[in-house]
Each structure stands twice: as structure tokens, then as C-alpha cells.
Structure 1
Amino acid sequence: MTTYLRLLPEQLPEIAEWIANLNKQNTHHIGFCGTDASALLNDFQEDFIQDELTTLVGQFEQDQLVGLIGFDCDDETAEVWGPFHLNHSVSDSVALWQFARNEFSELQTFLFFLHAENTAQQQVMSEIHADFRGKHLYYVRPRDGFDSSRDSLTYVFQDADQEALLKMHSTEFPDTYYDTQTLINRSTSPDHLLLMAKLDGASVGYAYVEKAPDEHSAHLEYLAIAPAFRGQGLGYRWLSAVLAEVFTDERVQHVTLTVSTDNEAANPLYEKVGFQKENELWFYKLGQ
């Protein structure tokens, strides 16, 4: 007998172990979920608890967990953790998705990041009519060997920078998950960094980073140089300056980022600064 249940907070330690083990396999891997059970548990406790339940839904066969999907919600948008399914069953994953979507009818937009070898869930994306938005490389830059000398180019976002930030962000990332105001709002968290670059009085770039201290990591969400200042060697300097700022936090042992495989200009820059390719993720979007 198949049942679908919203999971309880007290089930999260067991669920974290279940996903950590499954996500180590490329054919099951969902991007950004990680493979460390303790880090997963921390993420669940911070972002997946809603009142007395969680935003995780499990599929059970004879009381045995065989499938799972979760929503990391931000207003009406959710990054989807899953669907995970032990048996690679496309039909079962679609049924799980449909149940979970009905449970969270307030959500309108869904973001999926699947490993390139996770072909079963790629078929699920086709079945639910999610749009394929591109292939992304997942990079990791360890702290080891990085020169953390700080650069005068860098400073923390101030209210006076709002117009410059809006112009750069809307130009460089016109169809993205965080708009300018969301970046500003999220940057009030002590573990989120919104950094600006200024040269000779002009705003030349910005970067937004979210740290996950319990995972000893930080994720570089956005980084850009204004078009008028490209071709001057600022890209390498700016990326190095951002990393130096992030690594001032001793809790951070590595920085991650994702970038389109088609970004021929940026990818060599990331590798020059010491980022290493770890996974290829396929990005799908459903909704507005």
C-alpha cells in the first residue's frame, strides 16, 4: 500500500541520513542538497520546518520510505529537493510530485537542479512539463593555498549603492531567482554578504554570498563586473577580493558556485582562481 505523508520535525535526523546516502550516487543526485547528514539536518531545521510539520513529503510502501521531495520556500518560489526515489521510478516520482504540489498550493514557481547522470528525474521533468533552462557546472574552491590579503576594491553594500546595484543586477541577471530588493533584504543576515566594488569613485561590480557555517562552506550566488569596466583585468581581481573577504571567516573552508557551461568567458576565470569542477547540474524551472 502506497501512502504519502508530510514529515514531522522529529523525523528529520533519519531523513537527513537517508538523503545523504542517496545523494552520494550520481544517478540519484540532486544539486545543492549535499552528502553530509549533519549539514543536511541543519538545513532542514532552518529552512524546512513549517508550524508543526515540515515542507518534506515522503512516499511510503508498507511503512518503508521509498521516495521523498522537499521545498525550500521563499514566498511563492521553492527550490525543490528531489524528487528522490529508491527505485528510479518515473511514475512514482510523478505521483509524489503531484501529491506534494497539492499540499503546497501557494507555491507558484519551482526550481530543480539535477545531476547530469540523474536520468530518471530528467524524465520526470519532461512528464511534469518543467522547462529545461540549461546546464551548470558546480565548482568548489578550497581555502587551502588561497592568499587571503584583503583588497581596497571591496566594501559592504550601503544604502547609497542601491541604484548602482539595481542597474548591474537587472542587467547581468534579468531572469533570476533573487531580485535586487531580495538581495538587500537577505544581506541583513549575519551569514550573508552583499559586497560592492568601487574604483576611482565608480561602482564597478558586486557580489552576493551565502555562508553555511555548519557545513564549513559558502556559496557564491552572484558576481559581476559592470560592462563598462570589463577588459581591464578586474574580473580576476574582483573574484579574488570576494574570496579573501569570505575566507576571513575561519568557519568557511570552501566556497562553491554554479555557472552555465556556456559561459566561456567566466569559466576559465574561476579555474584560474582555483575553483575545481565537481558536478554538472541540469537546471529546470516550472512556473513563472
Structure 2
Amino acid sequence: MPRAGGPPGVPGSALLALALWLAGSPGGGQHYDYYGWQPESLPHGRFYGREPQCLDIPPDMQLCRDVGYKRMRLPNLLEHETMAEVKQQASSWVPLLAKQCHTDTQLFLCSLFAPVCLDRPVYPCRSLCEVVRDSCAPVMESYGFPWPEMLHCRKFPSDHELCIAVQFGNSKATPPPVSKICTQCEMEHKADGMMEQMCSSDFVVKMRIKEMTEENGERRLVAAQKKKVLKLGPLKRKDTKKMVLHMKNAGACPCPQLDSLSGSFLVMGRKVGSRLLLLAIYPWQKHNKEMKFAVKFMFSYPCPLYHPLLYGAGQH
């Protein structure tokens, strides 16, 4: 397939200028009959039986609301062919925006989920993918989610190609300051936030912490023998008998909930392989109305169809 020639990496703020340049370039026009650049996963390119459409970004597509343009092409650059599929898949990434792991996260994700409606599809530059990945992958890993293969940065064009460049961030990701609260400890303490976190957790347990250790950049919480399992999920008897919870990428960050290990805690997590990863921890407060409501109605709460990865305080 031919590659689109033209200017090097394009910042998001210059998308309008890019649109004007494409409109005046050879072969410009209103037809979308090919991709100007093909990722490695599609070596033979992709042809459509019909021309892709330009549609308004739906107002309920939260991921790309206020992204800086109003029209998107469909099918998008992740091969989603219906707006319903786009919205369903994009909604899973909304919680990552709340974590504010990189200033270009929305630009990168929306360039794929809701690509700007230009004469030719324009992919994010490899460098844009890399800075977002380097900053956000550790946050995702804290919750047991690896950086997905569909966003592998090698699939995207280098900066000398026509592509969307880093707009707000630096060429290298800046490590988060040590004072930033651990992602597992910044959870929303309102009932809705707790129940949303329960939806995305495999298990929910009320327990005391026997001991806490730090090793290889993570914390290990050893549960006391007496505990109450509120949501069992995929846990086996051996998992609950000697429960050890791992807090990934949490060796140096503060966690106010763990300043004192006295009292009980409400913990939520996922089972990844043989390890139990801690997603959220709350001090148990039996007279707290929000917590009582969340625990009482956790199984009747209408969990979303998509898998909410990273609900946190920034969302509410």
C-alpha cells in the first residue's frame, strides 16, 4: 500500500491545518478508499466494501468528549465498524483518564477510537504511543492489566511519517513523584464509587492485616486468620485460608489507609495467575453510611457491561 507523504509528526492542535493540507494534496478529496499507512498486524492492508463515514462524536462517548474536534471516521483505526461497538470498547478506557497518568492519554486513545475525519486516516506516532505507555502502563499493571497488544507501539509509524505527534508531554515520560498516593489507596469513598470498584474486582473481603512487607517495589499484605469473604469470585479455599495480597508498584508511594494496621479493612482485588492483586483498600467503618450501603447492595448494583478497569477518586 502507498504511504501518505507530507509533514512529519502532527500535534493535535494542528489537526485543522492538517485537514486543509490533505484537502489540497494530490489525491485529496472526499473519498476514503485506502489507509495511507498500515500497521504490522495488517501486512496486506484492509479494504472496505463501502466508504468509511464521517460522523459526529456521540455526546455520550465520554472518552473522547472535548477531545478538540467533533467529527470522527467510522470504521475507526481499531476496526470497530459500528458506533455501538466503538462506545462499548472506548468506555473501558475512561477510568484511565481519571488517573491522569499522562497529559496525552486522551489524544492517543481517541486518535484510534475516534480518529479525526480527514481525507486519509492518520495514526498516532510511535513516540506518542511510547510516552503514554511508559507513564500509564505501570498504573494499569498495578491493577493486573498489562499494556494490550492492540496498542503495541511498534505498530505505529515513526515520527518522520505523517502521524499525530506528542502534544503536551515530553519525549520521555516523567516518573511520578514519590509523594503521589498509591493508586490502590486513592479510591472514591462514596457508595457509588465503592460499588463500581466492587464490579471490577474478583473478590471483596473484610479482614485484619497481620503484617505488611515491602519487596521488589511492591507491598505484601498478609491477612489475619479471621476474615469475612463478601464476594468470593474465582478464589479457592487455599486462597482464603492463607491470604496474601500484592500491591504492585507501591513500594515507595504513601498509602494513608496503611499508616496504622489496627482495625479491619475492606479490600478488593483480582486474581491474576496464582497471585491476588489488591485493587482498593478502605478502613472498615461500621457506622459509615456510604460503606454500609455499598456492602448491603453490592450484588444488586447494576454493574456496567464493560469491564471498568481503574475506578478512582478522579471520576466522581
Q: Which structure would you say has the larger Rg?
A: 2
Q: Which structure features the higher share of strand residues?
A: 1
What TM-score results when the alignment is normalised by the length of structure 1? Answer: 0.30
TM-score, length of structure 2 as denominator length:
0.28
